[in-house]
Every structure is written in structure tokens, then in C-alpha cells.
Structure 1
Amino acid sequence: MNIDRNHTVRQLFRCACAVAAILLLTSCYHRKQTTHDATVTYNAKQLDSLSFQTKHHYTNNFNFIVKADSLALIRQQPEEVSALLPTDTIYVRKHDHLVVADIRIMPTDSIDSVWVQVARDQSTFGWQRESYLLPKVVPDDPISQFISTFSDIHLLIFLIVIVGILAGYVIRKLMRKNAHLVHFRDIDSFYPTLLTLIVASAAALYAGIQNFAPDVWRHFYFHPTLNPCSVPPLLAIFLSSVWAMLIVGIAAVDDTFHKLPAAEAVLYICGLIGVCAVDYIVFSILSLYYIGYLLLAAYVYFALYRYATKSGTSFICGNCGRAMRRKGRCPHCGAWND
């Protein structure tokens, strides 16, 4: 009887300790109050900063890198410049890192109402008009720097000339040697044709975004990403096509080395790179003037027609087991197939 009573007391004591521990832990927990963006209150300066960021895609504490040889900054305030007072100028050099320290709107300025103060360090800072500043800097991001480099008109003209000469030379050599070349004497693989179509479509889409949604592209330039799921639909399609180029390109190279000997495969890949380079330049430029879209439709038809009629294989040699386009003598082993 005493044993049962002691056992019951011990069980009740354990339950009381467990309840006390739960109550202590519960009392120590503090639920953080959930605050929705719609209920957050901003002061006037914060509202101005958010409004400016929406239109200009950057704001205070944004990081730039100087891409020009030099950039002049004015030490005095914008009001002193507008009043034609004496000013001091300092220069920052190429590759210097800058941060946006302040932004001021000057409605009385007849040249540019937006003035931006940037700083290289605590002792090197100054003001400059936005229209003068932005062409000489680039956002501090590798993707933005890549976009800025390939958007340079001088580099674009240089690339057009070089790519045109090299592609013409490579294609001419391949045609004279009767070597394999995409669209003309293609291999039995759809990956190279698919790669050229993806490159051409991505180039036309790139030009289309710049034509019809320039603000979307501008925002992407200041806040780039390689994640298609975190951008608007147009940019998501474009980024997906960029990833598709990489995946299909790897598949095309791998399949080429399986279909051709190593030396012929290298020549074929060089020709494929040349065709893709021409596709990119032609469609990215002509689509800016709307001609590229009609040309793209014709190119898709041409590429698919050539692959279906010149590259498809319907027969297998009974002697060596290699693919054949038509009945008759095998081009690989010379055996006759009826």
C-alpha cells in the first residue's frame, strides 16, 4: 500500500515539474509582431528615396565603378554651382569604387535637375549631374559590367568586323574541304541546329526588350541576376534562353565528338561557333529596327527544313551498323544496302 502511494506521489511530482517547465518556457517566448509593408510608415526623406529608386533604379549607398579614364567631381554644393560661384574640382580614376552618398533635386538647373554626390573614401567625394555621371560609371556587379562592355558601340562595331571576317573565312574553308557544317552539311544531331535557333531567338528577344520594355532592362542592368524565377516574364524567358544556350552547347559539343573523328569535330565546332556569332550580331542589330523578327521566322523555317531534309537518317547499314540517309552504298564501310 505504501509502495503504491509513493509511486503515485512521484508521478504527480513529475507531472508538476513538466507543467512548470512548459509554463516557464512559454513565458520566456516572445512572439514578434508581424508588420506588413502596407502598414509601415515612412518619413518624407524615405518616401523621396523610394520614389527616386523606382524611377532611377538606384539610391543612397548604391555602389559604382568608374569605367571612364577619369571622372570630375565638384566639391561645392549644387546650389553654389547654379549660382555660378567659384568651385573646386577633384578627379577619380578608372576602376575606382564609388558609393552614392546623397541625391539632390535642383528644379532650377537647366541642364539636369538631378545631382548625385558620390564618395571614393572619407576625403574624396563630390557632386555631379546624373546625366554626366552615369555614362562614366557602371554598377559594381560583374553582370552589369559585362552588359556595359558589350553595349559599347565602338566594341560592337569592332566585333561585327572581326566576327564577319573570321566566320566568312572559316565557313569558306569548311565548304572548300567539303567538311561538315551546320545547316549545309550537317551531322545527324539536332543539338547544333537547336543551339543556333536559341542564339538567334535570344538575340531578337534581347533587342525586343530594349525596344518595348527599356525600363525593365534598365532595372535589370542596375540589379542583375541569373535567376529566371526572380525577374519579370520577359527577362525570365531571356535568362532561360541563356541557360539553354549553355546546356544545349555542351550537348552539341559532346554529340559532335561522338559523331565525328576528333579533327573533324573540332572543325565542325569552329564552324558552329562562327554561325552562332553571326546569328547573334545579325538578329540583335536588325531586331532593333524590327526587320529581325521577319528574318527570324524565315531563319527558323530554313534551319528546320535543312535539318529535316539533309541531316536526318532513316536507315542503318547492315554491315557496320552506322547511320545512313538513304539506301545504297554505305558511306562508312562501302557495303551495299538494298
Structure 2
Amino acid sequence: MNRLSLFVIGVLSLLFTGCYHQTPETSDAWIVTEEQMDSISFYTTHHYTHNYNFLVTADTLWLIVQQPTEVLSDMLVDSVAVVRDDRLVVADIMTLSSDTIDSVWVQVARDQMTMGWIHEQQMLPGVAPDNPISQFITFFSDTHLLIMLAFLVVVLAAYTLRMAYRHNARIVHFNDIPSVYPMLLAILVSASAVFYSTIQLADPDSWRHYYYHPTLNPFAVPLHLSLFLISVWAMLLIAIAALDDIRRQLSFTEAILYCLGLMGVLAIDYVVFSISTLYYIGYPLLIAYVAFAIYQYVHHGRAVYICGQCGATLHQKGKCPHCGTVNV
């Protein structure tokens, strides 16, 4: 037996006969108090619990200083107000089955001197999670805001399109530049709006959890939310590519007008598809819109020729609009 074999046998012997120390099991590792179990149960269904931070979005919220049981007993109680942009932290949660209005009471605190109880159903419409992503979602989820935004967008987009036609300016879908990115951006915004509304319809609880615990990491959320976040990142990348193409192909004035028209189209896409999907109209509408966008790009936006003199892209043979050379 050579030395290599002896060495291998020795190493294996040490591995198999070496001392192994097993950590002793602790009998209380999974023991939790009843209060902790209640907190876990509440977090599962309501998606927030103790020490969660909120930002007041209502003009005023009134907090009861005394215990909720005193309110139910019709006792005189004191109240304290918190106003818009105040930051609150959840200090305690109480469930009172005898309360016919709302069984869940939440104790929130602005500071050590400003603390009180409020019904959950009264609190939630007047607060938002204290993080920018949740506040962004709150802003764009307001139904009244969407309706008002839809009206403003239609008016502004109509004005922008009219100005573009009068000046024979470039506009996505109609007189587009020879770049696929603006068309892809419009389709992606529309599809993302449909997907966003679909999540709210099909799985509102997962969206509610994401609303309270948002992230921009698509690998830290369930599959359907992951796909939505990927579409958001894709929108950002395609928008950068579109802006680069616009900058290279148009003059500064033309690029500004084109970007305004593009933003108008994207705003219309978002409002129309996010609202129509809530009534199940958005799905066939999206299919029709994608077909229209691709058709318009293939027949009016795609450049298939290059000027032999200056190298500019052309939709058809003939006189080059840049240098005047006739291409045949």
C-alpha cells in the first residue's frame, strides 16, 4: 500500500471518527405567549402589527386617550388630534367583540405626550404606511384621482396631438420615429396597468401585504408580484432606450414635442387600461391595442431604407427630408 493510499485512509478515519458536538435541544424554543400568538394572527390577516409606522394622510384623526372599554361604557373620555403628515407608530392592538361598530381598536402614538386609541376602520382610510413606495401606490390608487386624472389627461393629450398634427410633428403610433422603443414602452405600460388591476381583482390580499411591506426586488415576492415588478424595471430600461433614440433622431424642439406626446399617450394608456380592467374590458382592449400598435409601427414607423448620401433612415424611396437627395 503506497503512501497516498495511507494518507487517504487516515483522512477518512479522522472524518468518520472525529468528535461531533450536537447543540442541546431547548424545550422552550417554540413556546410563545398568548399575546405573541395574537400578534402573529393579527399580522397574518391585517398585515401590520406592533411598532408599525404610519403617516397621517387625512386632515385630522381623533384619538381616544382612555381605554376603549370606557368608550363602550358611555363614560366621558378625552381625545387628542393628530394632523396630516404626522408620523404614528402602533403601540397596542385590542379586539373587543362587544363593539358593534368595529371590534378592532388600535393604539397609536405620535410622541410620548400624544397617544390614543382609534377604530381600525376609521384609522386606515386616513393613514398610509410610512415609506415612499406605499405612498406612491396610495396616490395612484385613489379612484377619484384616477377619474380626474383621466379627464385632464384626455384634454392635455388631445391638445398635444392637435399641436403635433398641425406642425406635422412626430407622434407615437401615427407619425412615429424609426425606433421600436416608444411603441414597446406604450405596450408595456398598458400591459402593466392591466396586470396591476388583475392582481387587485384576483389576489387582493397579496397586494395588500405588498402595500404594507413593499420592495423593488422582484425576487423577494411571490411570482405574480415578481412579474409585475419585472415589468416596472423593464419600463424604466425601455424608457431610457427610447429617450436615447429620440435624442439622436430629432432636434431638441422636435424631441420635446415628441416626448410630450409620448407622455400623453402613456398617461391615457395607464388610466384607460387600469380602470377598464376592473370591469374586465381591459383584456380584449389590450389585445386590440397591441395589434394596432404593431401594425402602425410596421407600416408607418419602421424604417426600411437608408439614404445613400447622408445615411438617414427612410420609410420609403424618394427625396431624403434631411439632405434632399433623391433615392431610387
TM over 0.5: yes
1:129 matched to 2:116? The reply is: no
Match of 1:334 among 293, 309, 324: 324
Gaps of 5+ in 1: 1-30
Pick from 111, 115, 119 the counterpart of residue 105 of structure 2: 115
**Amino acid corresponding to residue 258 of structure 2 in structure 1:** Y
Which residue of structure 1 aligns with residue 167 of structure 2?
177
- Structure 1 residue runs of 4+, over 3 Å off? 31-36
* TM-score normalised over the length of structure 1: 0.86
Q: Distance in 1 between matches of 2:301 and 2:151?
A: 31
How big is the shift at 1:32? 10
Q: What are the Cα deviations for residues 157-184 of structure 1, in whole angstroms up to 9, with x where unaligned?
A: 3222221111110011101221111000
1:12 paired residue number: none
* 1:46 counterpart (36, 50, 55): 36
Report the Cα offset of residue 319 of structure 1: 2.2
Q: Distance in 1 between matches of 2:47 and 2:23?
A: 31
1:101-250 counterparts in 2 under 5 A?
A: 101-250=91-240
**TM-score, reference length from structure 2:** 0.89
Number of corresponding residues: 307
Give 1:330 deviation, angstroms.
Answer: 2.8
What is the aligned partner in structure 1 of residue 291 from structure 2? Answer: 301
| Match of residue 86 from structure 1 | 76
Q: String of CA shifts for 1:76-109, please: whole Å, max 9, x gaps.
A: 2121212222221111121111111111111111
Shift of 1:68: 0.9
SS in 1 for 2:176: coil
Q: Of the two, which has the highest radius of gyration?
A: 1
In the alignment, what sits opposite 1:23?
none
Q: Deviations over 1:26-55 (max 9, x none)?
A: xxxxx995999x963222111111110010
Cα deviation digits, residues 123-181 of structure 1 (max 9, x gap):
22111111011111111111111211222233223222221111110011101221111
Listed as ranges, the gaps of 5+ residues in structure 2 are: 1-20
CA distance in 2, matches of 1:32, 1:135: 52
Indicate whether 1:76 and 2:100 are aligned: no
* Partner Cα separation in structure 1 for residue 271 and residue 164 of structure 2: 21
**Counterpart among 245, 263, 268 of residue 278 in structure 1:** 268
The Cα offsets for residues 205-235 of structure 1, whole Å up to 9 and x where unpaired, read as 1111111111111111111111111111111
CA distance in 2, matches of 1:326, 1:248: 27
Identity of matched residues, %: 53
Structure 1 position 61 matched with structure 2 position 51: yes
- Provide the rounded CA distance (Å) in 1 between the counterparts of 2:140 and 2:321: 45
Residues 158-167 or 180-189, more deviating: 158-167
Q: From the two aligned structures, give the one with the greater helix fraction.
A: 1
